[in-house]
A and B are shown apart, each in its own frame.
Chain A
Amino acid sequence: MSRAQVLETCDEAVAGIEDGSTVLVGGFGFAGMPFDLLDALIRQGAKDLTVVSNNAGNGEVGLAALLKAGRVRKVVCSFPRQSDSYVFDGLYRAGKIELEVVPQGNLAERMRAAGAGIGAFFCPTGAGTTLAEGKETRVIDGRTHVLEYPIKGDYALVSAHRSDPMGNLVYRKTARNFGPVMATAATTTIVQVGEVVAVGEIDPETVVTPSIYIDRIVRVESRHYTVQGAR
């Protein structure tokens, strides 16, 4: 099915996510985090998940709530350690969760590669550091590059500002962050949006994520979360 479905509830939107799935979760801290879809995923009950996201949760809401519910086996992220990441910190120190740290640009580009059908790519980021240990390298134009493989999701959970029923998406400010990349990189992409407007109402020149990438759409009420400070 390539055509997107507009669903009434977040519970319908996350139906069928299997135990053991790899789930790409949008957001940079709270900006762009799909809170409502994550809450629905907790109710849905899928466990043993691998979550790919920039952070490993803040406070006890959103991604942190999913971690706290014990549903996540492994986190792949760039920046787990923050001033309010105590849920992840506790699980990690207790040996109850795996962590793979990936440089932020590599995290984004590896998902971009997955969505773009690139088999692997050579990238200078991290060359000579512990995060590149064991990885294939090649000197290109005098500079050491590291071979990086795509990160593909079974599901992506993304938050956007506006969509039409086809799934054309517009984001808002820095809440865009990982959304457009993750939307391309999963077998099934699920988006929560603040409003759904009629087909034709979004200027085609302003579409950020074209509809082809979107499978399920659900409109949610706007919710406000406290923005957290640095680290």
Chain B
Amino acid sequence: MSTSTPATTAVVEHLDRGPLSTDELAAVIARDIPDGSYVNLGIGQPTRIADHLPAERGVVLHTENGMLNMGPAAVGDEIDPDLTNAGKVPVTELPGAAYFHHADSFAMMRGGHLDVCVLGAFQVSTDGDLANWHTGNPDDIPAVGGAMDLAIGAKEVLVMMTLFTKTGAPKLVPSCTYPLTGLRCVSRVYTDHATFDITPDGARLRETWGSTAADLAARLDGIVPPHG
């Protein structure tokens, strides 16, 4: 059951349930990826979106270590040490797959040919800055991988994350405190509690699960308006 606020751009509120599970969130993101897109799913939770993209959607997965039309994870005899995804997990190839070297792989990303990438995040700012590569803790060994290239390269950069940290602090923030991966690069943020569009006027709620828009806006200290 969905209800809507009477704002100009209505927020869809799902109040008959709690926040989304990771798998449900993956399904919501998959729903919004256009059929036939070329898509890169970042290491970690975003890889689960692939489970919700059936073949008839025609979505082609890119993996930055040099492949298009990557298939599901390899099992048993399918495992081939020469065929892995960006997380170094053994995968399979689908008919129509192509292999290419690293410079080509990042050129197709940076060159604006990749329609969508979905990345995890520590924080996203309301103007679309992304922080997902380094905690900033001096004891942590920095490792960026392809995160900065993806953040500025794909036509649409979507973020998949929980809205709050384990201690309850919002991860959608006025300004990132973690080291940045890319500036003003995120177009939409998908979280367990709500999805947000990043607009020239800041973040705007689109859809909520388990909370009203007004409640979430309050929990986020008013950094988003309680309407769309």
User: Which A residues form the contact surface with B (CB < 8 A)?
Assistant: 28-32, 54, 78-82, 89, 92-93, 99, 101-109, 111-112, 123-131, 144, 161, 171-181, 208, 224-225, 227-231
Contacts and interface: CB of A to CB of B under 8 A. Distances in A.
Contacts, number: 164
Nearest to B81: A227
A231 B43 CA distance: 9
Interface residues of B, number: 46
Contacts of B67: 173-174
Given A128-B180, A179-B101, A104 B82 contact: no
B144 A30 contact: no
Contacts of A123: 110
10 contacts: A103-B144, A103-B146, A104-B64, A108-B106, A124-B110, A125-B110, A128-B183, A178-B102, A180-B101, A180-B103
Contacts of B82: 31-32, 161, 172-175
B65 to A, nearest CB: 5
Give the top 4 A-B pairs by smallest Cβ distance, nearest first: A105-B106, A230-B87, A105-B149, A81-B143
Contact of B106 (A82, A109, A225): A109
Interface string B71-106: 000000001111110011110010000011111011
A79 B88 CA distance: 12
Contacts of B160: none
A111 B179 CA distance: 26
B109 interface: yes
B95 to A, nearest CB: 15
Given A129-B180, A176-B99, 13 more contacts: A79-B144, A80-B141, A81-B142, A105-B102, A105-B110, A108-B101, A125-B149, A128-B180, A128-B182, A129-B179, A227-B84, A227-B89, A230-B88
B181 interface: yes
